[in-house]
C-alpha cells in the first residue's frame, strides 16, 4: 500500500520545507522534491497544504466508568472524532478501582479499546497500593509497553492517591524507567469546600469552580513536584490550569528538576463565566476538573506554552451527555466531571495560537504532537515527518474555514465547549498507519483499524537522570574506630 503526497509543505517541530512525502506499508519511506510515484501508488495533490505529524492527544478518557456513569464517547466514536480533527494517536487511561488488580483493569481496557479507529496507548492509574501493584507495574512496563503511571490527587473516597501512594509509586516509576503523572488538586480541600457550599445551599454548577480555587491546584502541584524531586523521579502534570501551577513548574525547572506540564485546549480558550450561565444544562456541560478559570490564568497558560514551561496540549476528552450531567441536578458534586474536545484541539490551537501570532507553525507541531511523543517515548516513530517514521500524518489547510458546533461534531454528546468558534486552519486529510482514515468530512477508517502502541521505558531523558542519581548516591562515613 503506497501513498504519495505531492506539492505540499512539510512542517515539523524544527523546520518548514517544500517536499513530496511517500508512505509505504505504514511508514514514511521517502521525503524529497519531485518524487515519482511507484507503480500502484495513490497520488494525492496537496498543493497549498501543510504536511504535519498527526496530532497526539496525551490525555483522553473514552468509555470511562466515572462518577456513577460511563463516558458517552467509546473507543470507536472517540477515536473517529480524533481522526476527524487530525489526531492519529490518543493516550487514554486505565483506571483500576481501588483494590482491583492492575492487570485485570488493564485487560478490561484493552478489550474496550479494540474498536479504536486511531492509534491508542495507555497511562495506568495507581489508585491504591500493595505488593501486587508494585509487581504489576513492572509487568506493565516490561511486557505491555506502559511507561507512564497516573495519580489522581483529587476525587476523595474514590480514586484519590494519598501521599503514601505517591511516594511508593513515584519510587517505583524511578526503578522502572517510567514517568509519573499527576492530576494535581488537593482532594481533601475540594471535599471540604464542596460540603461547605452544599450547606450554604449553593448547589448548582456555579459552585464547582468555588470548590476548586486556584490554590487547591497550586498546593497539589507543588506537593507532587516536591515528592518527585526528592525521589529524583521525573514528573508530568496533566491539565495545568492556573498561574500557581505554572509558578511551581517553572521554579522546579529552574532547579534542574525534570518536570513537564500539559495544558488543555479548553483551559486556554474557555473562561469561568460559563458557570454563571442561567441555563443549567449549558453551565453543567462545562463542569470538569480543574474548572475553567479567569482570563488572567488563560493568559498565563498561553505564555507558559510559548515559553516552553508547558510542553504539551491535550483535551482530557471525557464526554457526558445532558442526561448524564443531570445526575447532579440538585447537587453539583454529583455532576459527572468532564468535557470533550479531541476533534477540535488542533483547529482551536491553530486559530488561537498560530493565527494570533502566539505560536509558529513549528511550535504548533511541537505542542500538539512532537513533545508528547518525546516525553512518552514514542519519538521519532511518532511526532515526526521523517523517513522511517510511522505514516501518521495530518494534511492541513491553513486557509480552510469552519465554525465549530455540536450539530456537526463526531462526538455523541449534544454540547461543545467551543460552540460557535470560527476557525481558519482545518485538517483536510488524516493518514493513520499509512492509510487515509479521514478525508474532507468523510470517515474512512473502520472500527479496529487503530493500532495499540507500545511505549518502552527509559525515555532518553532517563540517561541524565540516572547519571545524576548515581553521582548523588549517599555514602556512609568510613570510621576506623
Ligand atoms: O473532569 C475531568 N477532568 N474528568 C476526567 C477525569 C480527570 O480528572 O481527568
Ligand atoms: Zn520498589
Ligand atoms: Zn484529571
Ligand atoms: Zn483526565
Over residues 450-475, the pLDDT tens digits come to: 999 999 999 999 999 999 989 989 99
Q: Is the pLDDT of residue 481 over 80?
A: no
Is residue 424 in some structural domain? no
In a domain, 345, yes or no: yes
pLDDT digits (tens, 9 = 90+) for 183-207: 999 999 999 999 999 999 999 999 9
Which residue of 186, 288, 314, 342 sits with most ligand 1 atoms within 8 Å of its CB, as the best mutation to test the pocket? Answer: 288
Query: Residue 173's pLDDT is what?
Result: 98
Helices (H), 183-274: 187-199, 207-210, 214-231, 243-254, 265-269
Q: What is the atom index within ligand 1 of the atom nearest the CA of 59?
A: 9
CA of 353 to the centre of ligand 3 (A): 23
Which residues have CB under 6 Å of ligand 1? 61, 183, 288-289, 316, 318, 337-338
Position 431 scores a pLDDT of: 98
Separation of 240 CA from ligand 3 center, angstroms? 10
The answer to whether residue 438 is domain-embedded is no
Residue 268 lies in a domain: yes
Question: If we measure between CA atoms, which residue out of 109, 121, 122, 106 comes closest to residue 74?
Answer: 109
How many angstroms separate the alpha carbon of residue 95 from the centre of ligand 2?
21
The bound ligand whose nearest atom lies closest to the alpha carbon of 292 is 1
For residue 73, the CA-to-ligand 4 centroid distance in Å is 14
pLDDT of residue 176: 98
Q: What value does the mean pLDDT take over residues 407-411? A: 98
pLDDT in tens, 15-25: 999 999 999 99
476 C-beta neighbours (distance < 10 Å), count:
5
Return the CATH number at 227: 3.20.20.140
- 371 cis-preceded (ω within 30 degrees of 0): no
**The cell 499527576 sits on which residue?**
182
Report how far ligand 2's centroid is from the alpha carbon of 171 (Å): 7
Pocket test for ligand 1, best of 241, 289, 333, 334 (most atoms within 8 A of CB): 289
Q: How far is the CA of 290 from the centre of ligand 3 (A)?
A: 7
Ligand 1 atom showing the smallest separation from residue 152 Cα? 8
Q: Looking at the domain assignment, is residue 17 inside a domain?
A: no
Give distance in angstroms: CA of 131 to centre of ligand 2.
Answer: 9
pLDDT for 480? 87
How far does residue 173's CA lie from ligand 2's centre (Å)? 9
Reported as a single tens digit per residue, the pLDDT across 35-77 is 999 999 999 999 999 999 999 999 999 999 999 999 999 999 9
What does the alpha-carbon distance between residue 120 and residue 59 come to, in Å, rounded to a whole number? Answer: 11
Ligand 1 nearest atom to the CA of residue 238, by list position: 9
Atom of ligand 1 nearest to the CA of 61: 5
pLDDT band at 401 (very low <50, low <70, confident <90, very high): very high
Look at residue 119 and tell me whether its pLDDT is greater than 90: yes
Ligand 1, atom 3, lies closest to the CA of 289
User: Mean per-residue pLDDT for 362-385?
Assistant: 98
Which amino acid residue places its CA nearest to atom 5 of ligand 1?
Answer: 338
> Among all ligands shown, which has an atom nearest to the Cα of 93?
4
Calpha distance 312→262 (Å, rounded): 5
Is residue 344 in a domain? Answer: yes
Distance from the alpha carbon of residue 348 to the mean position of ligand 1, in angstroms: 20
pLDDT at residue 105, rounded to an integer: 98
Instruction: Determine, yes or no, domain membership for 380.
Output: yes
Backbone φ, ψ for residue 184 (5° rounding): -95, 100
Dihedral angle sign, alpha carbons of residues 396, 402, 403, 404:
negative
Mean pLDDT of the chain: 98
Q: Residue with the nearest Cα to atom 8 of ligand 1? A: 289
For the chain, first and last CA: distance in Å?
75
Residue 384 has pLDDT above 80, yes or no: yes
Q: What tens digit of pLDDT does each residue of 306-322 get?
A: 999 999 999 999 999 99
Nearest CA to ligand 1 atom 4: 338
Nearest ligand to the CA of 338 is 1
- Examine the pLDDT at 145 and tell me if it is beyond 80: yes
Structural domain total, the chain? 1
Ligand nearest to the CA of 184: 3
The helix (H) or strand (E) run that includes residue 2 is strand 2-6
Q: Quote ipTM for the complex.
A: 0.94
pLDDT at 1 over 90: no
Q: Could you tell me if 398 and 52 are in contact, meaning their C-beta atoms sit under 8 angstroms apart? A: no
| Residue 122, domain member (yes or no) | yes
Q: What is the pLDDT of residue 135?
A: 98
Please state, for a pLDDT cut of 90, what percent of the chain lies above it.
Answer: 99
Q: What is the rounded average pLDDT of the residues 223-235? A: 97
Assess whether pLDDT exceeds 80 at residue 376. Answer: yes
Question: pLDDT value at position 323?
Answer: 98
pLDDT for residue 203: 98
Query: In this structure, which residue's CA is closest to atom 7 in ligand 1?
Result: 289
- Centre of ligand 3 to C-alpha 183, Å, is 5
Q: What is the span of the domain harbouring residue 318?
A: 53-385+453-462
Whose CA is closest to atom 2 on ligand 1? 338
Amino acid at each position: 500500500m503506497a501513498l504519495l503526497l505531492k506539492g505540499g509543505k512539510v512542517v515539523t517541530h524544527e523546520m518548514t520545507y517544500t517536499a513530496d512525502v511517500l508512505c509505504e506499508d505504514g511508514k514514511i519511506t521517502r521525503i524529497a522534491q519531485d518524487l515519482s510515484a511507484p507503480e500502484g501508488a495513490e497520488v494525492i495533490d496537496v498543493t497549498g497544504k501543510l504536511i504535519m505529524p498527526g496530532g497526539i492527544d496525551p490525555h483522553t478518557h473514552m468509555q470511562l466508568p466515572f462518577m456513577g456513569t460511563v463516558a458517552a464517547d467509546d473507543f470507536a466514536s472517540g477515536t473517529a472524532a480524533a481522526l476527524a480533527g487530525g489526531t492519529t494517536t490518543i493516550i487514554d487511561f486505565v483506571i483500576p478501582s481501588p483494590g482491583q488488580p492492575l492487570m485485570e483493569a488493564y485487560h478490561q481496557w484493552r478489550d474496550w479499546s479494540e474498536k479504536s479507529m486511531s492509534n491508542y496507548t495507555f497511562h495506568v492509574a495507581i489508585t491504591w497500593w500493595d505488593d501486587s501493584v508494585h509487581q504489576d507495574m513492572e509487568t506493565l512496563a516490561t511486557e505491555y509497553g506502559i511507561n507512564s503511571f497516573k495519580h489522581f490527587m483529587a476525587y476523595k473516597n474514590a480514586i484519590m492517591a494519598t501521599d503514601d501512594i505517591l511516594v511508593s509509586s513515584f519510587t517505583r516509576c524511578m526503578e522502572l524507567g517510567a514517568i509519573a503523572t499527576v492530576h494535581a488538586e488537593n482532594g481533601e480541600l475540594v471535599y471540604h469546600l464542596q460540603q461547605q457550599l452544599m450547606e450554604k445551599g449553593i448547589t448548582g454548577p456555579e459552585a464547582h469552580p468555588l470548590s476548586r480555587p486556584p490554590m487547591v491546584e497550586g498546593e497539589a502541584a507543588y506537593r507532587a513536584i516536591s515528592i518527585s524531586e526528592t525521589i529524583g523521579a521525573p514528573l508530568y502534570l496533566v491539565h495545568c490550569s492556573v498561574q500557581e501551577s505554572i509558578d511551581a513548574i517553572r521554579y522546579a525547572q529552574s532547579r534542574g528538576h525534570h518536570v513537564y506540564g500539559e495544558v488543555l485546549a479548553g483551559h486556554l480558550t474557555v473562561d469561568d463565566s460559563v458557570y454563571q450561565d442561567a441555563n443549567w444544562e449549558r453551565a453543567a456541560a462545562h463542569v470538569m476538573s480543574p474548572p475553567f478559570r479567569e482570563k488572567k490564568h488563560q493568559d498565563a497558560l498561553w505564555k507558559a506554552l510559548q515559553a516552553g514551561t508547558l510542553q504539551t496540549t491535550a483535551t482530557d476528552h471525557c464526554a457526558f451527555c445532558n442526561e448524564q450531567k443531570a445526575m447532579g441536578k440538585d447537587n453539583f458534586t454529583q455532576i459527572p466531571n468532564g468535557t470533550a474536545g479531541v476533534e477540535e484541539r488542533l483547529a482551536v490551537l491553530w486559530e488561537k495560537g498560530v493565527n494570533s501570532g502566539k505560536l509558529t507553525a513549528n511550535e504548533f507541531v511541537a505542542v500538539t504532537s512532537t513533545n508528547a511523543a518525546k516525553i512518552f517515548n514514542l519519538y521519532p516513530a511518532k511526532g515526526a515527518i521523517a523517513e522511517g517514521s510511522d505514516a501518521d500524518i495530518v494534511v492541513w489547510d491553513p486557509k480552510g474555514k469552519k465554525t465549530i458546533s455540536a450539530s456537526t461534531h463526531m462526538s455523541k454528546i449534544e454540547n461543545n465547549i467551543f460552540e460557535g468558534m470560527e476557525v481558519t486552519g482545518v485538517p483536510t486529510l488524516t493518514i493513520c498507519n499509512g492509510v487515509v482514515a479521514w478525508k474532507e468530512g468523510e470517515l474512512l477508517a473502520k472500527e479496529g483499524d487503530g493500532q495499540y502502541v507500545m511505549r518502552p521505558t527509559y525515555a532518553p531523558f532517563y540517561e541524565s537522570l540516572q547519571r545524576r542519581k548515581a553521582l548523588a548516591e549517599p555514602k556512609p562515613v568510613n570510621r576506623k574506630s
